[in-house]
Amino acid sequence: MTDGSHIEEVSSEIFDEVEADCYWCLTKLLSGIQDHYTADQPGVQRMVMKLQELVLRIDVPLCEHLRGVDIEFMQFAFKWMNCLLLREFTLDCVMRLWDTYLSEELGFEHFHVYVCAAFLCQFSSELQEMEFDELFQFMQNMPTEHWGDTEVEVLLSQAYVLSTLFGGSDAHLANTSKVPLR
């Protein structure tokens, strides 16, 4: 039925249920990220800063390299936070990610940062070999076009581990390294 060929066979009661479920999911999603789409986008900025602090704790060499080639987290992570990784993955992968986000007790915004950290660190060794132009281009077009369920499951698992280790305690994200935050 995904091609729409049997749509007329679906009863109005089922359509009503699907509509209600879709509305609930969208409401749940948007309720946690309302300040992402207001003036100055404080929610997006907050998430980018949290991502930077998290990556600084889990991959100092990557942070040092990004700083050394003058790449700021805001230059690539703003899009990840603002578009919720919709531009980085296929729709099937995004639906799998968002399904997990919606089931997370602390909400969409919380777990998304950990997914972004796991996503970035997955390419750490490659990124550390690149200079500004190549790195910036790579970050604008992450090589995920062939990702499927397996890769997304690994990403979500890594994000869950990070959220378990660092979630709920901002002290764990304190900047204790010599790499200053920008």
Taken in order 157, 46, 103, 79, the sign of the CA dihedral is negative
pTM: 0.79
pLDDT, tens only, 66-106: 999 999 999 999 999 988 899 999 999 999 998 898 888 77
What are φ and ψ of residue 168, in 5° steps? Answer: 80, 0
Residue 2's pLDDT is what? 60
Q: How far apart are CA 178 and CA 13, in angstroms?
A: 60
For the segment 149-170, the average pLDDT, to the nearest whole number, is 91
pLDDT at residue 181 greater than cutoff 90: no
Q: What tokens appear for 88 in the block?
A: 């980085």
Set out the domains of the chain in order of their start, with CATH numbers: 32-173 (1.10.472.80)
Query: Is 60 exceeded by the pLDDT of residue 107?
Result: yes
Q: How many helices (H) and strands (E) does the chain have?
A: 9, 0
pLDDT at residue 43, as a whole number: 79
CA distance 143 to 61: 21
CA distances from 105 to 65, 110, 131, 154, 171 (A): 34, 9, 39, 20, 21
pLDDT digits (tens, 9 = 90+) for 127-147: 999 999 999 999 999 999 999
> pLDDT tens digits for 1-60?
466 667 777 788 888 888 898 888 778 777 767 666 666 677 788 999 999 999 999 999
Listed in sequence order, the residues at least 6 apart from 19 whose beta carbon sits closer than 8 Å to its beta carbon are none
